[in-house]
Amino acid sequence: MKEIKHFINGECVGSDSGKTFEDRNPANNQLIATVHEGGQVEVDRAVAAARAALEGEWGLMPMAKRLDLVNKVAEGINARFDEFVEAECLDTGKPRALAAHVDIPRGAANFSFFADHVKNVATESFFTETLDSTGAINYGVRKPRGVIAVVSPWNLPLLLMTWKVGPALACGNTVVVKPSEETPHTAALLGEVMNDVGIPKGVYNVVHGFGPASAGEYLTRHPGVDGITFTGESRTGSVIMKAAAEGIRPVSLELGGKNPSIVFADADMDKVIEGCMRSVFINCGQVCFNTERVYVERPVFDEFLSRLKSAVEALKPGLWNADGSTMGPLISHEHRNKVLSYYKKAVDQGATVVTGGGIPKMPGDLADGAWIEPTIWTGLPENAAVVREEVFGPCCHVQPFDHEADVVRMANDTPYGLGASVWTENLSRAHRMGQQLDVGMLWVNSWFLRDLRTSFGGNKQSGVGREGGVHGLEFYSELRNVCINF
């Protein structure tokens, strides 16, 4: 049986307590690894190693050499591409095509992009007039924030973890990562890559475990941590924000969503169906900005629904490496129970189930997996549970609308504000939506089209702060003003 250990100070180490937990493949519930569970001892060691690296070789390293090493991490991931793909697919059950086109290449790009990016970011400079007329000059200097705690989720494990580790290292910080207990594999593999390419010991550390009363809580409460970057549920974000208040540590929070897609009657319906199939069902509906509410202008409502239904019924659930499989399972049985409870609430509250609503019949040992049917509902009021609350499964409610102002009101009537997509060929309307929808990211005639130079984050309960491009530097570095009096 494979054993996954912590990665502390450049070495794979087991837990002092001897405590372990199971890593199971959600496609068939088979045990794939035993994982060491970290406690206070391992977190203390990882934070101490990160501090020593910051004050030692890494902190003293010239920027050019540091960024060259960060770039080499990207090369190192790409050199072991198939291994990363397989590890991600076994942990999550997602189809190979998804891991090979999104998770792993983006995981690598998160290092190469930020290694190039930070070189080109200017700081401000002002000439200041003084009373004696000699003048002074002010200029900004960016310094690493210090030891960064990275707490990440299971839905896009390598991508979302490196989205934080890449800029953190490029800015000169050191990190302690607490990956999701569901998906420990790729964070462990990345430790091997760090050693292979020559990242100094202690720069990248990983402690496995759970959240409360485990590695996640010990790490986020640790006084040796200078900043916490977290992706996960809004409820967890609130707990982490409280932990960060002790010691006044800054947080960057990427949290949940209840994202709308708005389809106007003038949209190109082929593009709409292709786009909504991705935005609702990709990764079995487990992407933070997945669409869970679709609003369709009444003249095209019936056409949209019947075409979306046909496309959904053509999805092929199957093992990650099976030919033609286009859909994986949910991450776990526990998560499936949560999603099924929402499927039940939808029916109890009067939904029409257009398709799905249950558990599919899967062959052989796949019957033991966390499979679920992709589901579409109509007919619910806007206050129904599946229209208000984040389900994080392959499902959406489809609602007709008549007026632009009505759909903007419904789209914004949520405690979340992460992402939205709008489908229209009317340019003026697209710009109006850009002004009116209360979200951090709006896609027009697309979804999840990413440019890493742009800001990424959510409004309201969907997050605090922005990462991406220069915006991430506000979290991963401290800006110092130097004032020189002539």
Contact positions toward ligand NAD, by CB under 6 A? Answer: 151-155, 160, 178, 180-181, 210-212, 216-217, 220, 231-233, 236, 239-240, 254-257, 288, 390, 392, 418, 458, 462-463
Regarding 344 and contact with ligand 6OD (CB under 6 A), the answer is no
Question: Choosing from 89, 171, 276, 288, which is the catalytic residue?
Answer: 288
Regarding 158 and contact with ligand 6OD (CB under 6 A), the answer is no
- Quick one: which of 456, 464, 472, 475 contacts ligand 6OD (CB under 6 A)? 456
Regarding 288 and contact with ligand 6OD (CB under 6 A), the answer is yes
Give the residue among 393, 293, 313, 316 at the shortest CA–CA distance from 355.
313
The neighbouring-strand residues paired with 396 are 376
Quick one: DSSP state of residue 211? S
Alpha helices of 284-422 — where are they, by DSSP H? Answer: 301-313, 333-348, 385-388, 404-412
User: Is the distance from CB of 417 to CB of 462 less than 8 angstroms?
Assistant: yes
Instruction: For helices 81-92 and 185-197, give the axis angle rounded to 10 degrees.
Output: 160
Dihedral sign, CA of 160, 166, 167, 172?
positive
Exposure string of 432-447, with b = 16+ CB inside 10 Å and e = fewer, is ebeeebbbbbbbbbeb
Regarding 4 and contact with ligand 6OD (CB under 6 A), the answer is no
Regarding 450 and contact with ligand 6OD (CB under 6 A), the answer is yes
* Minimum CB distance to ligand 6OD smaller for 235 or for 450: 450
Regarding 163 and contact with ligand 6OD (CB under 6 A), the answer is yes
* Minimum CB distance to ligand NAD smaller for 184 or for 275: 184
Could you give the strand order of the β-sheet that contains 20-24, starting from the edge strand earlier in sequence? 2-4, 31-36, 20-24
Q: Which does 163 bind (CB under 5 to 8 A by kind): ligand NAD, ligand 6OD, none?
A: ligand 6OD
* Minimum CB distance to ligand NAD smaller for 153 or for 167: 153
User: Is the distance from CB of 421 to CB of 279 less than 8 angstroms?
Assistant: yes
User: Is the distance from CB of 274 to CB of 420 less than 8 angstroms?
Assistant: no
To ligand 6OD, the closest distance from the beta carbon of 287 in angstroms equals 4
Active site residue 254: yes
| Residues present in the chain in total | 486
User: Is the distance from CB of 87 to CB of 215 less than 8 angstroms?
Assistant: no
* Minimum CB distance to ligand 6OD smaller for 160 or for 165: 160
Cα separation of 163 and 33, whole Å? 25
| Contacting ligand 6OD within 349-408 (CB under 6 A) | none
To ligand NAD, the closest distance from the beta carbon of 435 in angstroms equals 22
The two structure tokens encoding residue 56: 């030692």
Regarding 234 and contact with ligand 6OD (CB under 6 A), the answer is no
To ligand NAD, the closest distance from the beta carbon of 102 in angstroms equals 13
* Minimum CB distance to ligand 6OD smaller for 92 or for 155: 155
To ligand NAD, the closest distance from the beta carbon of 426 in angstroms equals 29
User: How far is it between the farthest Cα atoms of the chain?
Assistant: 86
Cα separation of 256 and 375, whole Å? 20
* Minimum CB distance to ligand NAD smaller for 165 or for 267: 165
Known catalytic residues?
Answer: 254, 288
Binding site for ligand 6OD (CB under 6 A): 155-156, 160, 163, 287-288, 450, 456
